[in-house]
Structure 1
Amino acid sequence: MSVNEQNYKAILAKTETAGATLVAVSKLKPVSDIKALYDLGQRDFGENYVQELAEKQPQLPDDIRWHFIGHLQSNKVKYIASFVHLIQGVDSERLLVEIDKQARKNGRIIDCLLQVHVAQEETKFGFDGGEVTALLGRIGSGVLVLPNVRVKGLMAMASFTEDADQLKQEFTAMKALFEKSFKPETSDLKLQTLSMGMSGDYELALECGSTMIRVGSLLFGARG
């Protein structure tokens, strides 16, 4: 078994203390590793590739909560719409509309997070702060009607850096945007999830208010 049980228990304890959720990022890892972590009690797993997720899902227990955390193309939503628990990287209104369409076909309501671009790298996807606020406003006020989609919160990928000050600045900005977006008196939206923090920065993310972290290499080891 290539799962690090000691790391898992330590990270889970920190996550639960913060009142957050741990998503185990299992991309490129075999079904046997996922099952090993499942047997330790883990239920939330994150995958980055549609084909890989669609192949793994039938081989594993039905009570796994699958999170799609990669860049999702609109034409591939249909392959995961029947079972995905949470789509974390929604980076366009077009994608949100397609998720609603495929969820309706499957008689489901699919939970989603809107991805916000806070990192300095240009390679990251996502809305900027103004765009996400405007989109949430349109959904919350009923201008954009998506009955089979439930926007649960925001997701971000911080810059790939060891500069703790920069990371803290980005996480703090995301927390502020999250709190600004949650206005129950003017909207029916119930934003509950702020997904930020990965293997290298999850502790800082939790300190800054993350409610969901995505950890892979510390649990499964480095990917080849």
Structure 2
Amino acid sequence: MSIKENLIVIKKTFKNPECLLIAVSKTKPIGDLKEAYDAGMRDFGENKVQELVDKQAQMPEDIRWHMIGHLQRNKVKYIAPFVHLIHGVDSFKLLKEINKQAKKAERIIPCLIQMHIAKEESKFGFDEVELEEMLTSEEIKSLTHVNIIGLMGMATFTENQDLVRSEFKGLKALFDNLKGRELPDNFEMKEISMGMSGDYLIAQEEGSTMVRVGSAIFGGRG
């Protein structure tokens, strides 16, 4: 099937039509991105800074670029002028660097805090103790060029759907808990980014507001 046909099929399966579909275009050629763009996609996700910068220069200006991979602090400056949303803020040091580069770019960068919800050690992210320490620190209030708009989490890569569901459920419970609390001015719980090609339907059932889908749109990695 074509990319356009894949998009139609995916959107028909959505449990929540309000959930934002982000086309994960990493490793895909510009031609594939243009095909998705022509089919109406405006939100694209990349996990490598160089690839994101290269593609942004070649694609229409109305695209919303999502940085979805692990972001190194020394690479933030390259995407700070244009990135729409950084999904994977996995440390306070990274958040401070994003704030610094956003200030230089004279903008406020929306971010999601990545929580470590998977059983795998290889995944990045805050645990709840680290999140609490950041939320209650005085330093967080000085970060005036970032806007934390929610949480992101990646489930364990497994066939066990009950485990995946329980991890998403846990993240949603944390999200709801934070939503009911008084938070710093630069924090607001609006978005919860969870779910990829293999588990986006479960993620939507558990309350995800944005899903990151690559192979189901573009086919297997080229």
Task: Specify the alignment match of 2:206 in structure 1.
Answer: 208
Structure 1 residues 143, 29: closer, same or farther in 2, change over 3 A? Answer: closer
Partner residue of 2:149 out of 140, 147, 152: 152
Structure 1 residues 71, 142: closer, same or farther in 2, change over 3 A? Answer: closer
Q: TM-score, normalised by structure 1?
A: 0.93
Partner residue of 1:178 out of 158, 175, 178: 175
Work out whether residues 3 and 35 of structure 2, in 8 Å CA contact, stay in contact via their aligned partners in 1: no
Work out whether residues 3 and 37 of structure 1, in 8 Å CA contact, stay in contact via their aligned partners in 2: no
**For 1:155, what is the secondary structure of its paired residue?**
strand
Partner residue of 1:167 out of 155, 164, 173: 164
Answer with 206-215 or 129-138: which moved more. Answer: 129-138
Point out where structure 2 has 5 or more consecutive residues left out of the alignment: none
Residue type of the alignment partner of 1:209: G
Q: TM-score, normalised by structure 2?
A: 0.94
Distance 2:12 2:134 in 1: 35
List aligned pairs for 1:32-181, cutoff 5 A. Answer: 32-138=31-137, 143-181=140-178
Work out whether residues 3 and 221 of structure 1, in 8 Å CA contact, stay in contact via their aligned partners in 2: no
Q: CA deviation at 1:9?
A: 1.4
**For 1:181, what is the secondary structure of its paired residue?**
helix
Answer with 8-17 or 189-198: which moved more. Answer: 8-17
Q: CA deviation at 1:142?
A: 7.1
Point out where structure 1 has 5 or more consecutive residues left out of the alignment: none
**For 1:158, what is the secondary structure of its paired residue?**
coil
Distance 2:42 2:93 in 1: 30
Residue type of the alignment partner of 1:63: D
Residue type of the alignment partner of 1:165: D
Q: CA deviation at 1:6?
A: 2.4
Residue type of the alignment partner of 1:183: G
Matched residue count: 221
Work out whether residues 165 and 203 of structure 2, in 8 Å CA contact, stay in contact via their aligned partners in 1: yes
Work out whether residues 134 and 140 of structure 2, in 8 Å CA contact, stay in contact via their aligned partners in 1: no
